[in-house]
Amino acid sequence: MTSALQILRLDIGLPLDSGAVLSPLEIGYETWGELNAAKSNAVLICHALTGDQFVAGPNPVTGQPAWWANLVGPGQIIDTDRYFVVCSNVLGGCMGTSGPASIGPDGQPYGLSFPVITIADMVRAQAALVDHLGIERLFAVIGGSMGGMQVLEWIASRPERVGAAMPIASAARHSAQNIAFHEVGRQAVMADPDWQGGAYQAKGTRPVKGLSVARMAAHITYLSDAALHRKFGRRLQDRNEVAFGFDADFQIESYLRYQGSRFVDRFDANSYLYITRAMDYFDLAAGFNGRLSDAFTAFKGRACVVSFSSDWHYPPADSRHITRAMIGAGVEVSAFEVETDKGHDAFLLDEPQFHEAMAGFLAASAADQGL
C-alpha cells in the first residue's frame, strides 16, 4: 500500500495537562479504506514510542516499510476493505505532528521551549483529528506498548467514543525499572556535546551519538534473553573483521550499533526526551483516586488485553492488573497471554496466536456493534 505525508493544521488551541495551550496544532496522519455511510467502521491505531503513522504503507520520508503491514491492509486482519483505518503521529513526535522540532510562533524550532506533554495530551490531539474526520464514535482503538497506554487513556477519558479497545503489551503505569531505562537513554542524549542544551537545530548539530546509545539501551528491553541467544548467542563477527578490542567483536554488538545508527536517521532527539518522559508520567489510576477500576467504569464497550509471556519490558503481570481492574469495573473483557520467546517486540512480529486472538476479537466486536 502506498503512503503520503498528510498533515492537518488546526488553528484551535490545544489545552495541555501542563496548563499550556498549543496553537497552532499540526497532526501528521494516514488513513486507509473508506468511511461507511454510518461512520461506524473507523479503527484508530495508536503507535509505540519510536513508531509513526505509516502502519500499512512505507514511510515516504525514510523509505522504511510499514510497521504493521502483516496486520493492516486489504484482506488482512485489520481489513482496509472493511474498516476505515486511521493512524496519526503522536503529539511531540517528529513525523508531521507538532513537536520539539516543529517551528514555533517565533519562527524558530521549539526545542526545549515546546511544552511538556502527557499521554492524555496525545489522545487530545488524536480526538481533534477524529473530530476533523467527522467520526463521533470509533469502532475500535488498538495499540501496542505506548500505543496501549493511549488505548487505555481513550476508554478512561472518552469512553462513549470507543466501541472496542485492545491494549497490547502495555501497562497502566511505568515501573521504576522502565523509568530507569528511559533515564539512561535521556542522559545519553543530553551528554552528547552536539545536543547543545536542546538547541542543536539552531546551531546546526545533531546529537547522533547520544541518541544512538539511547536506542541501543532501549532496544535491549524489547527483546528477550532467549531471542537474543537464538539469534546471536556469543558468536563473534567474522574473524577477519574482529580486532579484539573496542570494536564490535560480538555479533550482538554489531546488531545494536546498527539499530542505533538506523534510528538516528529517522527520529528527533528532543522528541525522544519528551515522549519517554510522557510515558514515565503516565499513571492512569492517579486521576481516579488511585483506583484503576474506577478509570473503566464508564466504558461500556468490550476489551481484549494482550500480553506476551517473555515480555519483561511490560510483563504479563501488568496486563493482568489491567484486566482485573476492568473486571472490577464490569467491563466485558477477555485476556490473552501469548506463549512466545520473542519478548516485547512480539506484537510487531509474526505471532499466529496473537493474530488469531485479534481476528476473533474484531469479529466478535463487529457482530456486537452490528457492523
pLDDT tens for each residue of 262-286:
899 999 999 999 999 999 999 999 9
pLDDT the model gives residue 89: 98
pLDDT the model gives residue 315: 97
Marked catalytic residue, from 192, 268, 311, 345:
311
Question: Does residue 314 have a pLDDT over 70?
Answer: yes
- The span from the CA of 215 to the CA of 97, in Å, is 21
Report the number of distinct structural domains present in the chain: 2
Three-state secondary structure readout of 198-267: HCCCCCCCCCHHHHHHHHHHHHHHCCCHHHHHHHCCCCECCCCCCCCCCCCCEHHHHHHHHHHHHHCCCC
Confidence of residue 62 (pLDDT cuts 50, 70, 90): confident
Place of cell 467520526: 135
Identify whether residues 237 and 295 lie together within a single domain: no
Question: Does residue 152 have a pLDDT over 70?
Answer: yes
Marked catalytic residue, from 47, 174, 313, 344:
344
Residue numbers of the domain that contains 264: 178-276
145 counts as catalytic? yes
Q: Average pLDDT over the chain, rounded to whole?
A: 94
271 counts as catalytic? no
Confidence of residue 4 (pLDDT cuts 50, 70, 90): low
Question: Does residue 238 have a pLDDT over 80?
Answer: no
In this prediction, residues 120-138 reach a mean pLDDT of: 98
Among candidate residues 242, 276, 310, the one where a domain is terminated:
276
Domain-located, residue 1? no
What CATH code is carried by the domain that includes residue 186?
Answer: 1.10.1740.110
Q: Are 56 and 81 in contact (CB under 8 A)?
A: no
Identify whether residues 32 and 123 lie together within a single domain: yes
Domain-located, residue 255? yes
Domain-located, residue 363? yes
Marked catalytic residue, from 145, 271, 319, 365:
145
Question: Does residue 338 have a pLDDT over 70?
Answer: yes
Question: Does residue 214 have a pLDDT over 60?
Answer: yes
pLDDT the model gives residue 249: 80
Confidence of residue 61 (pLDDT cuts 50, 70, 90): confident
Identify whether residues 130 and 227 lie together within a single domain: no
311 counts as catalytic? yes
Question: Does residue 333 have a pLDDT over 90?
Answer: yes
- The span from the CA of 37 to the CA of 84, in Å, is 11
| pLDDT per residue as tens digits for the range 85-98 | 999 999 999 999 99
Identify whether residues 55 and 185 lie together within a single domain: no
Among candidate residues 252, 276, 300, the one where a domain is terminated:
276
Domain-located, residue 122? yes
Residues 6+ apart with CB under 8 A from 12: 23, 25, 128
Identify whether residues 145 and 291 lie together within a single domain: yes
What's the gap between Cα 229 and its chain centre?
26
Which 8-state DSSP code applies to residue 65? P
Identify whether residues 138 and 83 lie together within a single domain: yes
- 65-88: burial string, b at 16+ Cβ within 10 Å, e else: ebbbeebbbeebbbbbebbbbbbb
Tell me the whole-structure pTM to 2 decimals.
0.95
Domain-located, residue 51? yes
